[in-house]
Amino acid sequence: MAVNRMDNVGIVVEDLDAAIDFFTELGLGLEGRARVEGEWAGRITGLGTQRVEIAMMVTPDGHGRLEISRFLEPAVVADHRNAPVNALGYLRVMFAVDDLDDTLARLGKRGAQRVGDVVQYQDMYRLCYIRSPEGILIGLAQQLGQQASRANPVER
């Protein structure tokens, strides 16, 4: 049996409203917001009874989703926000943008900081990593010139 699709990437944050504002500025839309709680939810996560506020953000094309969660109960037990890009586990979420410089300027006003340099890969992409105010590692890629596709992937 094959995977049908990837539904979403989940990220836990401290300030849900600020995270929604940040990802809205990036260009995602708020698809919905809810509170998830109870024993049934804890059975899925293995946390027991839990209370979580979630927001589902969606990319403009409607295919990608980001589930942002703020745990009310149980308390957060670990903080990986300052982990370097070569840490084990979750690395980053990558977004394709139309104008990298404009995106960096807008997100900089929301507290985003570049991790390294903006680099150009051949004549295909301009790329960089940023950290959101919540410490979320985000990749940004602006496609240049010729159109790359999954049938003609970027060389590694």
* pLDDT confidence tier of residue 150, bands split at 50, 70 and 90: very low
Domain termination site, one of 58, 77, 96:
77
The domain of 147 spans 78-156
Answer yes or no: pTM beyond 0.85: no
Give the torsion sign (CA, 24, 28, 30, 36). Answer: negative
Domain termination site, one of 77, 103, 121:
77
Residue 90, CB-side half-sphere exposure with 13 Å CA sphere:
17
Q: Give me the pLDDT at residue 1, please.
A: 66
CATH value at residue 50: 3.10.180.10
Average pLDDT over residues 95-108: 96
* pLDDT confidence tier of residue 132, bands split at 50, 70 and 90: very high
Q: Are residues 107 and 41 in the same domain?
A: no
Q: Give me the pLDDT at residue 43, please.
A: 83
Q: Give me the pLDDT at residue 141, please.
A: 95
Cis? peptide before 84, omega within 30° of 0? no
Rounded CA gap, 40 and 73, in Å? 14
85 within 8 A of 129, measured Cβ to Cβ: yes
Q: Are residues 69 and 84 in the same domain?
A: no
- The tens digit of pLDDT for each residue in 6-59 reads 889 999 999 999 999 999 999 999 999 999 998 888 888 888 889 999 999 999
Q: Give me the pLDDT at residue 61, please.
A: 94
For 66, left (φ over 0), alpha (ψ -120 to 50), or beta? Answer: beta
Domain termination site, one of 46, 77, 108:
77
Q: What percent of the chain has pLDDT over 90?
A: 62
Residue 91 clears pLDDT 80, i.e. is over it: no
